Structures are given as structure tokens and as C-alpha cells.
Structure 1
Amino acid sequence: MKNEGEQRQQDINRDDGSGILKTITMILLASTTDPVEGSILPVIFTIIGAIWTLSVFFINYQNEKLKKKIEHFKLLKDYNAELKKWANNTIDLMSTAGHLCLLDPKKDSQFYNQRHNLLIALSAEIDKGRFFLPNTEIDGHGQYKAAAYQGFRVKALNVLVDCYDLVKSIDYMDQQKNIPVTKQIMECKRNFVSEVQIQLDPRKFEIDFIETIKQGL
């Protein structure tokens, strides 16, 4: 078994500082088996106890604060994952629409149906996007509309509406009329990607997350 001296030395060598406080307390207790009246030792013990309590409180507070920040990042990451899933599907539709314009309708019997299916899909994605990107200024515009449609659409959804109108304009008889539409749809796609990236702000997310992790080390 370890004797008292070995135990004190082991406490002193601890990295977290708690061993030092415990060792000081043990030494003071060992040297005062019969304290005289008016001794300063009770005051010292009180101070040590207060320091110990405050240290534990501060450590617990910091740990709880870090835990809440990490939980916040987890929720934000989950939200962003769903937003990216929606955006990825929408980008696929826009890319398909842009390349559809390069096909000759006269050589593709399904051209009209493809255009029609794209319109259906884009219309659905516009409404799904409202779950992630709600309208702004809902108190000052369109009060007569359904709740989700009051106010003004954000830029990302405006771009999708523009793309929908462009797909609707695709001529299913004359390919030459569709060539200029291709560039317009691809421009919509680039603008959409940019708007979603602004919403996700991946650079800020990464910087903030790394900084939070460093605080916990």
C-alpha cells in the first residue's frame, strides 16, 4: 500500500491542479491536530474551499457551454443537409432542362413529354423550397394569399420561377428557337447555386465549428 508521502507526491503531479489543492489541504490538516483558539487555519480552509468550488463551477459551466454550441452545430448541419438535398435535385432538373434545348424535337418523339415533366417537377421544387426559404416582408404584401405565399419570394426561388418560365417557352417543334434558351437556363442555374451557397455559408460554418472545437481542447 502507498504511504501518505507517496500519495501527496502523486497528487502534486496531477495536471488538472486539483491534486495540488488537495495536497495543501492535507498538509494543513496534518499540522493542526489541536488548533489553538484564534488560529488562521479556518480562514485558509474557507478560502481553499471557495477556490475549489469556483473552479469546479467554472469548468462545469464551460463544458455545458461547449456542449450547447456543439448541439447547435449538429442541428444546423442537419438543416443544411436537407437544404442541400433539395438544391441538388433542383440543380439536376435545371441542367436537364438546359440540355433539352439542344435536342431536335423532330427527332425525339418524347420531347414534348420531357418538357411537360420538367415543368411539373420544377413547379413542385419551387413550393418545396418554401420550407427552407420562406418569403420575406410577409406583413406588408399579399395578405390575401395563403400564408406561405404572403410577402416576397427570396432570390433563389425567383430564379427557379424564371427557369420554369424559360422551360415553358421551349419550342417543341423548332430546335433553333431553343438555342438561346439554353444559355438563359444555365445562367439561372448558376444564379441558383450562388444563392443557395449564400444561404448555407459553408466557409463560415467550417470556421465557426473549428473555433468551437479548439475552445474545448
Structure 2
Amino acid sequence: MNITEIIAFGSLLVSLLAFIYAFLTNSKRYELTSQYRREVLDWFSETTLILSTLRKVIYDKDGKEDKYKLLCKLSAQIEVGRFFFPNIDKGDGFGKEKPLAYQGYRNLVLDFLVYSHRLFKKEDAVRYRDHAKILQRYFTSYVFEIIEPKKFIKETKKHTKKTFNQELSFEDFISREPEIIEMYIRD
């Protein structure tokens, strides 16, 4: 083997190792992102269930104990949420006297929950049901923005070659399958 062949072989080996390294680190990054995303969605799911149940319970005259338990659960979800959405440090020293997790400004995602908690805690919480629903929609929208489902679907397709999104609306479905809708209208 002459020097040119050795250099060519070495270059090929380095290129192959670089490709393998890039693939493995990309796969690991995807795996870690997926795990984090799953944990946030589990937390989000539990929190949303609590909020939805609170909107129902406030109509129940005998539901004070249920309301209290749900408010405790919501408070716990806010505390857990601090690990996903830590306070914001604007560099102005705000809250420096507080314990570490509470220093700075509360993340907006958690503020929607804190204000929902305050509304549901009121004796006349039923008056604020629509307000709480709006706060929940913003909560969902900001988590949606952070989770980036469309980007995640693209990444999943890239790594698994599977598509989970057909980009099909209900209106599109009706135009393709009108007899299905007719069948339900007749019943």
C-alpha cells in the first residue's frame, strides 16, 4: 500500500466515523427530546384534566371538598411545572431573597395556572368560569408552542419513516365520505 492509498483509506475511515457519530448523536438528541416531550405532555394532560374538572365542580353545591382537593392538585401541578418552566431571570435581581425555584419572574405558562387557581378559589368561582376557560386555552396554546407538534411530527417521520398526520380536516373528510355523515343524520 502506498501513501496515497493510506491517506485515501484514512479519509474514508474518518468520514465513516464522522457519519456514525452524527447519526448516533442525532438519534440520541431525538430520543432525549421525545422523552422530555412525553413528560411535559403527561404533566399537561393531568393539569388539563384538573382544570376541566374544576370548571364542572364549581356548579355542584356539595362539591366544596372536591373543589378543595382539585385546588390542592392544581397547586401541586404548578410546583411540578416549575421544573419544566422555570422562572425567568431578567437580570434585575427580582426575587433574589426567595428560594432558588422562586427567584425571578414566574413563567407565563405557570401564570395561567396560578390565575386559574385564584379564580377557582373564589366563593363565586362560577362567575369566572369563562375567564378560566380562556386562561386554559392560552395555557394550552403556550404549551403547544413549546412542544412544537408539527416540528416533532416531521422529526419523527425523519427518524422512523412513519407519518402520523394526514393534514385532513373534518370538512375534507365529509367531502370525501358524504354517505357516512348521511348515515348519522338519519339516526
Band the TM-score falls in, shorter-chain normalisation: 0.7 to 0.9
Query: What is the aligned partner in structure 1 of residue 129 from structure 2?
Result: 182
TM-score, length-normalised on structure 1? 0.68
Query: What is the aligned partner in structure 1 of residue 40 from structure 2?
Result: 83
Contact 1:126–1:161 (8 Å) recurs in 2: yes
Matches within 5 A, 1:8-47: 45-47=2-4
Is 1:128 the counterpart of 2:80? The answer is yes
Q: What RMSD over aligned residues (CA atoms) do the two structures have, in Å?
A: 2.0
For residue 89 of structure 2, the aligned residue among 137, 161, 165 is 137
Q: Percent identical across equivalent pairs?
A: 26
Amino acid at match of 2:153: E
Where in structure 1 are there 5+ consecutive unaligned residues? 1-41, 172-176
Aligned pair count reads 160
Query: What is the aligned partner in structure 2 of residue 164 from structure 1?
Result: 117
Contact 1:98–1:182 (8 Å) recurs in 2: yes
Query: What is the aligned partner in structure 2 of residue 64 from structure 1?
Result: 21
Structure number with larger C-alpha Rg: 1
Contact 2:113–2:135 (8 Å) recurs in 1: yes
Q: 1:189: how far off?
A: 1.3
- Runs of 4+ aligned structure 1 residues displaced above 6 Å come to none
Task: Give the match's secondary structure for 1:130.
Answer: helix
Q: 1:114: how far off?
A: 1.3
Decide whether aligned partners of structure 1 residues 213 and 96 sit closer, same or farther in structure 2, where only a CA change above 3 A counts. Answer: closer
For residue 5 of structure 2, the aligned residue among 44, 48, 51 is 48
Distance 2:42 2:157 in 1: 24
Contact 1:138–1:150 (8 Å) recurs in 2: no
Contact 1:80–1:200 (8 Å) recurs in 2: yes
Distance 2:105 2:150 in 1: 27
Structure possessing the higher relative contact order (Cα contacts under 8 Å, 6 or more residues apart): 1
TM-score, length-normalised on structure 2? 0.78
Amino acid at match of 1:128: V
Query: What is the aligned partner in structure 1 of residue 70 from structure 2?
Result: 118
Q: 1:96: how far off?
A: 0.4
Where in structure 2 are there 5+ consecutive unaligned residues? 162-187
